[in-house]
């Protein structure tokens, strides 16, 4: 999967650079230039690999003075919530493993917290590191970007002047990603439209391709909804990525250019090559530390017809990556997209709708604690790949169905006090009576051009309707209120929309809160017996029949 291939590309880059360095070393037999030191020179790209420096002349200067002033990796830094900074370096940057502790962020005042490798940004976005924004730098505006250096240079840096710093970008006013389709370039933009409220007309904006304002090419914006802006592709060719952003045009005023991390490669996706056969159903989901739950969820859904799983990973630090690797080894198609942007759930779903539209007909927008269930499946001794598909119209274009909507039922802790080792489908069997909300399976060709969505529900094109499935036909088992340690972990991190207001005393009556929970992360009395109005063992019975490996273990427990 992503992490794996990322590692592979590092290994390959490392191998090439090592080879060149060793070659050089051999040719010159230079005692002061070890291959390791050569490696540490920040290189812009592999294509522009600088020629080896001339052999040093014999010198009596102490080693210290022969060294060049350290140069940072080129990158751009963005302030994100909780005083953290994301430093993004271009995809071609040769990084030296182990990435976990090889780099530091260096601020103008020379404070130098460690830079933790965070992930590869989707598509052409580069690599992200995270570091702290030290208190010493918060006192005065403007804030400045840190520079990324190899940790070994720390000592050396103290005595050296740094290049002039640039102003730190902010996560709440930025073009943070892009996705190129055959006809347009879709930009993800923070700070222009608010999430639900008023959006401005597309004519207020233009897309700007290229850094340099004298040569930049501008194209119209065809849709501007939520954080998703669609631009016409410019008439240009080229295989090198260029920067792309949005400008806000207000009558008579000077255009405001939005800072951007996004890149556009003119030659990409001119015609979408269908390299991959389209599957019937993909699943799109946001995850944070879902490693423990992933295997059960993927195995179950893959047996009933979900062929591809696209996980938008909000900077997990559990064993998610390892779980994904082992599932892939077993043949499951699980992909991850690193997606850290604050409050970017809707945007993540829009992104996934573009991504999945290339590889699937339908996309189910569900979480890893949600499982589709049709009561009719209880009659089948084995799961079958057509099962989920049978809930969808055979001819969505003829029937004009753009979305299928399925009601959710919410399970309580069912007397569990820790994560049930046989899995959530075995462990949680008691739920609230009323069904709540719904989840959608979207017919991707029918999506509205705006890609507008409200958590798990999309806007479809004019003429397409949403089909509401009867609860006797299908439901979603939502394992929402799990054993206290699980529930608490989930609430603390606020991955999903319904936990946003967890620690604030706002909205205490909201449907999204756990009823009676208040705003403190303390286990409420008798938590394990809460939300238990109806015993519902349908899923337990079904999964035992389909996935029971022995009397007491389930197929997903083996690994
Ligand atoms: C990711 O997690 C952070 C930190 O808890 C949160 O602020 C942010 O909204 C999350 N992003 C998404 C897309 O869920
Ligand atoms: C939970 O435990 C209580 C008390 O022992 C019992 O009455 C109830 O049936 C149990 N509920 C479930 C879902 O097992």
Residues 156 and 189 in one domain: no
Confidence band of 254 (pLDDT split at 50, 70, 90):
confident
Higher pLDDT, 493 or 361: 361
Confidence band of 52 (pLDDT split at 50, 70, 90):
very low
- pLDDT score of 270: 66
17 within domain boundaries:
no
Of all protein residues, the one whose alpha carbon is nearest to atom 2 of ligand 2 is 415
- pLDDT score of 253: 75
Residues 401 and 499 in one domain: yes
Of all protein residues, the one whose alpha carbon is nearest to atom 10 of ligand 2 is 415
| In the predicted structure, residue 485 carries a pLDDT above the cut 50 | yes
Beta 457-458 vs 453-454: how paired, if at all? antiparallel
Question: Is 368 touching ligand 2 by the criterion CB < 6 Å?
Answer: no
> pLDDT tens-digit profile of 436-475?
889 999 999 999 999 999 867 899 999 999 999 999 999 9
What DSSP state is assigned to residue 453? Answer: E
Q: What is the CATH number of the domain that holds 116?
A: 2.60.40
- pLDDT score of 510: 47
Question: Is 494 touching ligand 1 by the criterion CB < 6 Å?
Answer: yes
Range of the structural domain that residue 127 is part of:
76-170
> pLDDT tens-digit profile of 69-99?
678 898 899 999 989 999 999 888 888 888 8
**Ligand at shortest distance from the CA of 429:** 2
30 within domain boundaries:
no
Residues 429 and 511 in one domain: yes
493 within domain boundaries:
yes
Q: Is 504 helix (H, G, I), strand (E, B) or coil?
A: coil
Question: Is 427 touching ligand 2 by the criterion CB < 6 Å?
Answer: no
pTM of structure? 0.82
Q: What integer is the mean pLDDT of 534-542? A: 97
Residues 480 and 371 in one domain: yes
Q: What is the CATH number of the domain that holds 431?
A: 3.90.550
> pLDDT tens-digit profile of 152-173?
888 888 888 888 999 999 999 9
Confidence band of 520 (pLDDT split at 50, 70, 90):
low
Q: Closest ligand 1 atom, CA of 314?
A: 1
Question: Is 477 touching ligand 2 by the criterion CB < 6 Å?
Answer: no
Residues 234 and 296 in one domain: no
Domain end call among 133, 154, 170: 170
How much distance in Å is there from the Cα of 144 to the middle of ligand 1?
24
26 within domain boundaries:
no
- pLDDT score of 45: 30
244 within domain boundaries:
yes
Contacts (Cβ under 8 Å, ≥6 apart) of 244:
175, 178, 185, 187, 207, 208, 209, 231, 260, 262, 263, 264
Residues 389 and 426 in one domain: yes
Domain end call among 264, 287, 306: 264
Confidence band of 422 (pLDDT split at 50, 70, 90):
very high
- pLDDT score of 198: 64
Q: Which residue has the tokens 């010198």?
A: 59
Residues 284 and 250 in one domain: no
70 within domain boundaries:
no
Q: Closest ligand 2 atom, CA of 529?
A: 1
Q: Is 94 helix (H, G, I), strand (E, B) or coil?
A: coil
Residues 186 and 290 in one domain: no
Detail the DSSP E strand segments found in 25-113.
Answer: 76-80, 84-89, 103-106
Question: Is 416 touching ligand 2 by the criterion CB < 6 Å?
Answer: no
| In the predicted structure, residue 21 carries a pLDDT above the cut 90 | no
By most ligand atoms within 8 Å of CB, the mutation choice from 413, 414, 415, 540 for ligand 2 is: 415
Query: What's the rounded Cα separation, in Å, for the pair 98 and 79?
Result: 25
- The total number of residues shown for the chain amounts to 559
Contacts (Cβ under 8 Å, ≥6 apart) of 257:
208, 245, 246, 247
């Amino acid at each position: 999967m992503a992490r794996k291939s990322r590692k592979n590309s590092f290994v390959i880059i490392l191998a090439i650079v090592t080879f060149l360095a060793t070659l050089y070393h051999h040719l010159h037999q230079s005692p002061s230039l070890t291959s390791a030191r050569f490696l540490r020179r920040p290189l812009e790209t592999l294509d522009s690999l600088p020629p080896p420096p001339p052999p040093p002349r014999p010198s009596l200067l102490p080693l210290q003075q022969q060294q060049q002033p350290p140069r940072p990796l080129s990158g751009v830094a963005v302030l994100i919530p909780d005083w953290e900074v994301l430093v993004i370096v271009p995809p071609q940057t040769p990084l030296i493993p182990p990435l976990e502790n090889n780099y530091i962020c260096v601020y103008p005042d020379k404070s130098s917290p460690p830079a933790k490798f965070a992930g590869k940004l989707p598509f052409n976005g580069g690599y992200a590191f995270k570091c702290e924004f030290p208190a010493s730098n918060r006192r005065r505006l403007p804030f400045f970007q840190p520079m990324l250096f190899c940790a070994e240079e720390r000592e050396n840096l103290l005595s050296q002047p740094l290049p002039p710093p640039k102003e730190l970008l902010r996560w709440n006013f930025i073009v943070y990603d892009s996705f190129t389709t055959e006809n347009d370039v879709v930009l993800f933009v923070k700070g222009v439209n608010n999430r639900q409220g008023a959006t401005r007309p597309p004519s207020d904006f233009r897309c700007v391709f290229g850094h340099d304002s004298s040569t930049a090419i501008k194209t119209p914006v065809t849709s501007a909804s939520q954080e998703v802006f669609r631009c016409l592709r410019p008439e240009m060719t080229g295989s090198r990525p260029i920067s792309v952003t949005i400008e806000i045009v207000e009558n008579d005023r000077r255009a405001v250019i939005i800072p951007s991390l996004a890149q556009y490669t003119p030659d990409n996706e001119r015609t979408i090559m269908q390299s991959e056969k389209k599957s019937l159903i993909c699943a799109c989901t946001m995850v944070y530390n879902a490693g423990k739950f992933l295997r059960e969820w993927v195995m179950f859904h893959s047996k009933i017809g979900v062929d591809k799983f696209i996980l938008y990973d909000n900077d997990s630090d559990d064993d998610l990556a390892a779980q994904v690797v082992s599932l892939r080894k077993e043949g499951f198609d699980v992909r991850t997209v690193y997606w850290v942007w604050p409050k970017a759930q809707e945007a993540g779903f829009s992104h996934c709708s573009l991504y999945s539209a290339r590889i699937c007909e339908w996309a189910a927008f569900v979480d890893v604690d949600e499982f589709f269930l049709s009561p009719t499946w209880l009659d089948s001794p084995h799961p079958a790949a057509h099962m989920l598909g049978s809930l969808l119209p055979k001819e969505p274009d003829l029937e004009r169905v753009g979305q299928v909507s399925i009601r959710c039922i919410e399970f309580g802790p069912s007397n569990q006090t820790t994560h049930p080792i046989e899995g959530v489908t075995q462990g949680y069997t008691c739920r609230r009576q009323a069904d709540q909300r719904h989840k959608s399976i979207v017919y991707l060709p029918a999506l509205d051009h705006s890609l507008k969505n409200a958590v798990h529900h999309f806007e479809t094109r004019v003429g397409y309707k949403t089909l509401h499935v009867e609860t006797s036909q299908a439901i979603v088992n939502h394992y929402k209120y799990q054993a206290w340690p699980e529930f608490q972990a989930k609430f603390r991190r606020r991955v999903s929309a319904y936990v946003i207001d967890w620690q604030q005393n706002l909205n205490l009556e909201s449907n999204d809160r756990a009823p009676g929970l208040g705003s403190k992360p303390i286990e409420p009395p008798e938590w394990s017996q809460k939300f238990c109005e109806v015993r519902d063992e349908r899923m337990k019975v079904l999964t035992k029949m389909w996935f029971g490996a022995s009397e007491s273990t389930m197929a997903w427990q083996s690994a």
